[in-house]
Amino acid sequence: MSTHRFQGRCEGKISSIILSYLKSEIKSAALNIWQDNWDNGETGRSTHDIVPRVSNKPVGWNREEIMFVTGHGPFPSYLHRFNLRTHDNCSCGEKGDPIHYATKCWFTLSCHFQTPTVSLKLQWLKNILTNNLSRTRLRLLMRFICDENNLIVEDNN
């Protein structure tokens, strides 16, 4: 083997080692920045409570569960926050946030969960998300909210 070819191969190997090292450094720096933003941000706090560590791996929640946990769904509270409604009340008169539909609203009576105490709200959410029966009920609740949105989000603009 000529010295030239050997050098070339060797350099190739070294640059691939450097490249993979740099890639992992960049990845971990990016994750750190992301974690920092996630820990110190102002939005998504309810999600932060349940998923405190950032990760590239999906959490394994379906669309309905994500809407419920993040509150980013067809809830009066969400629509109001983005100025799509003038108030955040449900048609029943109470504040229309996810927990209202999961525990109090009479439109969603058949899908109710027990009302959590304030201090145990996080555990309550975790219990729902780790129990298959509860997850099914949550899915039904969210489908109802999506399908019957005109009923619960009666706007009086």
Nearer to Zn ion, 90 or 111 (CB): 90
Q: Residue 149: which residues within 8 A CB-CB, separation 6 or more?
A: 74
Give the binding range for Zn ion (CB under 5 A) out of 3-11, 28-36, 38-46, 92-100: 92-100
Q: Are 142 and 67 within 8 A, CB to CB?
A: yes
DSSP code for 6: H
Q: Which of 67, 69, 90, 141 binds Zn ion (CB under 5 A)?
A: 90
By CB under 5 A, is residue 149 in contact with Zn ion? Answer: no
In whole angstroms, the minimum distance from the beta carbon of 95 to Zn ion comes to: 8
142 binds Zn ion (CB under 5 A): no
Residue 103's alpha-carbon distances to 23, 61, 94, in angstroms, are 47, 21, 12
Please list the alpha-helical segments (H only) found in the chain.
3-40, 45-50, 63-70, 76-81, 98-103, 121-129, 132-147, 149-152
Q: What is the contact mask toward Zn ion in residues 43 to 82, using x (rule: CB under 5 A)?
A: ----------------------------------------
Tell whether residue 92 is a contact of Zn ion (CB under 5 A): yes
Contacts (CB under 5 A) with Zn ion, residues 95-114: 105
